[in-house]
Every structure is written in C-alpha cells, then in structure tokens.
Amino acid sequence: MLFTTEIIGAWFAVFLTLAIFSFLYKDNPFYKAAEHLFVGVSAGYWASTFFWTQIQPNLFGRLWPKVDGEMGGLRAAWYGIYDFFGWFHSGIFPEGGIDKGHEMNLVYMVPFILGIFMLFRLSRKLGWLARWSMAYVVGLAAGLRLYGFLNSNILAQVRGSALPLFDGWGTAINSILIIIGTLTGLFYFFFSKEHTGMFGKISRVGIWFLMISFGAAFGFAVMGRISLLIGRFYDLIQFSGSEYHHATYWLLAVIVILLGVQAFRERGKQTERA
Amino acid sequence: MKSGKAILMGAGIFAVLFIIYYAFGHPYFNGNRLTMFVCVMALSITILYYIARANSGEKIYLRIIPGLKAFDEAVGRATEMGKPVLYVPGIMDMDQVETVAGVIILGHVAKMTATYETNLNVPVSRSIVMEAGREIVKESYLSVGRPDLFNDDMVHYLTDEQFAYAAGVDGIMLREKPAACFYQGKFYAESLILAETGNSIGAIQIAGTASPSQIPFFVTACDYTLIGEEFLTASAYLSQKPALLGSVKGQDMGKFIVMIAILLVFILNGVHDLGWIDIDFKEWLRVE
C-alpha cells in the first residue's frame, strides 16, 4: 500500500470534511480539532497573505522602489532608512529597493504612519493614537460610500423605474407591479410616521412584497448551497475509490466508532452520577 | 427652529450663488456630475435641517420597531439564566456602513450587559473591528460606572477567513451556550450557519443586516430581524439622541422625494413611449 503526498492530502481532506460534518451530530473532539485547525491556519494565512500581497509590494514597494545607479542627498538618506530595515530582514527589504513596478510616492507615508499608530494599541500611554487610524478608515469610507450609494441605490433606482407600459398587457402588469412593490416597500421604511390607517395598510402591502422577494432570494441561495454540498460529496465519493485506499470509508468508520464509544462512555458516566 | 431656518436660508443663498456660477460657464466644475451634486446637496441639507429642528427641542416621533424593543428582553433573559450574551458584528471591515452600525449597536448592548452584570462575548473577524469594538465596549462599561467588569478579551479576534470564522463562532456557541445571540453587521453565506446553530442551542436571536441576500436566512432562523434600514436606524432608536432622530426624519423626507421621483419617471416614461414628449429625461439621471 503506497501513500504518496497526493493520497495523504486526500486522506487529510476527507478527515477534515467528515470532522466538520460531525458537527451535525453534536460538538465533539473531531469537530473541535478541525475547527481549531481551520481558525488557526486561516488566521496565519490571512496575516501572511495581507503582508506579502499588500504591505510589502504596495506600501513598501512605493516608499522604497528599486533604483538603479547612484543616489545622493536626501534620497540616499531615505534609502539609508531602508537599508536599516533590510539589515533586519533582507527578504522583505531586498538590496537596492523593492521591484514591484511602482514609482516612489511619499503620499504612502500617510497609511504607513496610520498603520504604525494601530500598533501603538500595545502601549498604555500611546494607545489613543490608534483612534486616529480608525477615524481615518471610518471617515474615508463614509465619504466614499455616500457617492456610491447615491448613484447605485437612488439614481439608478429612479432611472430603473422608467419601465415600459405599452409593450403588451404582460409587460404593463409587470411594470406596474414593480412600481407598486418599490413604492409600498419604501412606505414600510418610513420611521418617523406611525404605521396606522391607510399608511399602515400600504406599508403592509410593502411587507408582502418584501417577504415574497426574500422567499425567492432564499430559494435561490439554497440552490447555491446545495451545489456546494454536492461538491463536497463529489470529493468524498472520489476519495472513496481504491486509488485513494478507500479513504472515505475508513475514516468514516473510524469517526463513527470513536463517536459511538464516546457516547457510550458519556452515558455510563451519567448513569454513575445518577 | 431658528437654526433650521438658518440652514434653509443658507441653502437658498448657496443655491442662488451656484446658479449664477453655473450660468457663467462654471469653471472647475464637472458638468457631468451636476445631478449627483444636486442630489448630495439636497439630501445633506434636508438631513441637516431636521437635525437642527431636533436639536432645538422639537419632538421627533420614531415608530416602534419590535426587533429593537427585544434587545432589552434578550439581555434580560441572559441575565436571568446566568448565561453570556454573544454579539457578532458581521464579517467585514470598518469601511462598510453595516459594520459601523453594528459596532455602534454593540455599544448599546454593552451598556445593557454592564448594567445587568452579564458576560459579553464578541468574536470578530477583522483587526480594526476588534480595536473599534474594544473602544466602544470599554466606553460603555465606563459610562454605566462598571469599568471593573470590562476586559479586553471580551472583544477578541478569530480569523479573517469567512467559514473559519463561522466554524469558530459555532464552536463558541456550542461550548458557552449563550442565552442571547446578536448578529448585527454585514453578513454573507455564513449567516444561516450562525443563525441555525444559535437556534439549535435555544438562544434568543436578534439579527440586523442590510445585505438583501442574507435577510431571508435571518428571518427564517432568528426570533427578530432588523431589515435593511431598520438596522441602520437602530442606533437612533436605542440612544434617542436628538441629532440621530433628526437625521432619521431627514432620511424619511429624502425617501419621500425619491418616491415622487420614481412615480414621475414612470409616468413620464409612459408619456414618452406614447410619443407625446420628446425629452430623454433618463439621461439627466445618468452619472458619468
């Protein structure tokens, strides 16, 4: 029986898939192991990915891009700082600058400094500086989103209400239904007026439209989830073949037996306590 | 009321000056963005006007939202049962409006847990959200005079990865068995995984999101769901601060204007289709 790296990988994938599925039974050591592995590995992976795809190429790569030839004056002093960093880690700060196709842009000192401010959270005295970074992120996002939301949620919506009315009865009914649904839905989201009388009745129609659209969205999303489940089952079936030494059957049997033993022992303990 | 009138007067003067500027060739102004400019100004002035009215003492009515009324009930239930409260502020960063709203609501929930001396657990999936969450929870505990109950680990980071985060939160739910679960923020496919697990442990669940594709899942599995703008109005409702109440009233007026615009565009489009008018008004609403 030969275990290549591909087969070991398949066994590992099957084990983790079944361990996560075991959650459907109840919380158990297999699920705990898979969960902790998943959380830990992904946290480390994300930290590493962010650093090597964003901070190193896009931030450091713009502050200290690769330069050819001699440098003098302020530039030499600026790259002196870089060389100092390079002394700690030449992989992040390779000799002569970072070659990611960027020009030097000192505006990027702003995110660099704000990023360092975030690290001051570790200090009791200077922790307040981190608030500046957070304020920058929230304020900038609010300003940027205002434009996007107005364009996509208001102007595009109003523009989209120019629906055809005279292209046949079916189209006309469809268009009128969409307009009634949009307007009554908006009525529901009036907060400064009590939903009673005629206003309440109209907003009730709006809720009906909302619920019907939620139902449709629910069905659509469930179909997507089913396709994901089929994908996992497809892998489990593939790995149950003889070329993978029946990984799915073996691991399923081991997990079921061990969970059964655990359940049996737990029941024994409960009986003892009683 | 005086400051409200001052805002209207200022807006009027600004509008006249802008019309003159525009008529004289509007240098440095991108004409393709005129519609957007008018929309931003109109909405901002409307909101500022109602904020000013609210600040001057005018009572602003806010209708009852059942999901928000249930916040107190949920924390109270957790207190009675001696179990913790779990708060999930979504999986996105602070550059999303929903996450900001979720973190603000966290402040209100933290005030309740501090008052009732109930444990609060806030697992987050973004480092900046963790920092913002810690700040706001600490502030809440200080404001109700219980800084002794606060510790940094209440708001803790799990991972940025969507489903690893969902697995981690599910694990917390199964082991700590919180009596109340709040899901307030931006969610994607993990919404049903979280809400179903919360349902299976018998927790009272209140969700709030503006993600249209996730609302159905929360409606199905949670006791209360704040739909779209209900969720974004929550901080005004919970704090009852005049400035926030005024902004809600201003937004309502904005919605009313949009409704009129929708109706007008629909009718004018019909008239245009009949060939009675020959104006391409849809172009006016297009932003380059």
Same domain assignment for residues B95 and B211: yes
- Going from N- to C-terminal start, the domains of chain A cover 1-36+239-274
In this complex, is the C-beta atom of A118 within 8 Å of any C-beta atom belonging to chain B?
A: yes
Q: Is the pLDDT of residue B288 over 70?
A: no
Same domain assignment for residues B36 and B116: no
Same domain assignment for residues B186 and B275: no
Using CA atoms, how far residue A110 sits from A44, B94, B97, B194, in Å, is 26, 18, 23, 38
Residue B127's CATH number: 3.40.50
* Domains contained in chain B, number: 2
**Which of chain A's residues have a Cβ under 8 Å away from the Cβ of B217?**
218, 221
pLDDT > 70: percent of chain B? 98
Instruction: For residues B77 and B83, give the distance between their C-alpha atoms in angstroms, rounded to a whole number.
Output: 9
Question: How high is the pLDDT of residue B239?
Answer: 83
Mean pLDDT of B146-166: 94
Same domain assignment for residues B225 and B149: yes
Picking from B206, B223, B239, the residue at the C-terminal end of a domain is B239
In A, residues 169-208, which contact B (CB 8 Å cutoff)?
175, 179, 182-183, 186, 189-195
Tell me how close the Cα of A248 comes to any Cα of chain B, in angstroms: 22
Same domain assignment for residues B192 and B279: no
Same domain assignment for residues B234 and B245: no
User: pLDDT tens digits for A33-75?
Assistant: 999 999 999 999 999 999 999 999 999 999 999 987 777 788 8
User: pLDDT tens digits for B70-97?
Assistant: 999 999 999 999 999 999 999 999 989 8
Tell me how close the Cα of B135 comes to any Cα of chain A, in angstroms: 9
Question: If 0-12 CB within 10 Å is exposed, 13-18 middle and 19+ buried, where does residue B146 land?
Answer: middle
Same domain assignment for residues B103 and B190: yes
Tell me how close the Cα of B161 comes to any Cα of chain A, in angstroms: 6
Same domain assignment for residues B38 and B141: no
Q: What are phi and psi of B86, to 5 degrees?
A: -105, 130
Question: If 0-12 CB within 10 Å is exposed, 13-18 middle and 19+ buried, where does residue B205 land?
Answer: buried
CB atoms near residue A68 (< 10 Å):
7
Q: What is the mean pLDDT of chain B?
A: 92
Same domain assignment for residues B182 and B94: yes
Instruction: For residues B149 and B113, give the distance between their C-alpha atoms in angstroms, rounded to a whole number.
Output: 10
What's the pTM? 0.89
The helix-helix angle for A197-238 and A169-188 (nearest 10°) equals 100
Mean pLDDT of A196-206: 94
Report the range of poorest mean pLDDT among A234-243, A256-265, B237-246, B258-267.
Answer: B237-246
Same domain assignment for residues B78 and B190: yes
Same domain assignment for residues B115 and B190: yes
Same domain assignment for residues B203 and B75: yes
In A, residues 9-38, which contact B (CB 8 Å cutoff)?
20, 23, 26-27, 31-32, 34-36, 38
Give the up-direction half-sphere exposure of residue A166: CA atoms within 13 A in the CB hemisphere.
9
- Whether B167 and A38 lie within 8 Å, measured CB to CB: yes
Q: Is the ipTM beyond the 0.85 threshold?
A: yes
Question: How high is the pLDDT of residue B174?
Answer: 93
Q: What is the extent of the structural domain holding B151?
A: 66-239
Closest Cβ opposite residue B265 in set A131, A158, A194 = A158
Question: How high is the pLDDT of residue A266?
Answer: 87
User: pLDDT tens digits for B177-194?
Assistant: 999 999 999 999 999 999
**Which of chain A's residues have a Cβ under 8 Å away from the Cβ of B177?**
none
Tell me how close the Cα of B139 comes to any Cα of chain A, in angstroms: 13
- Whether B259 and A186 lie within 8 Å, measured CB to CB: yes
DSSP B91: S
In this complex, is the C-beta atom of B152 within 8 Å of any C-beta atom belonging to chain A?
A: no
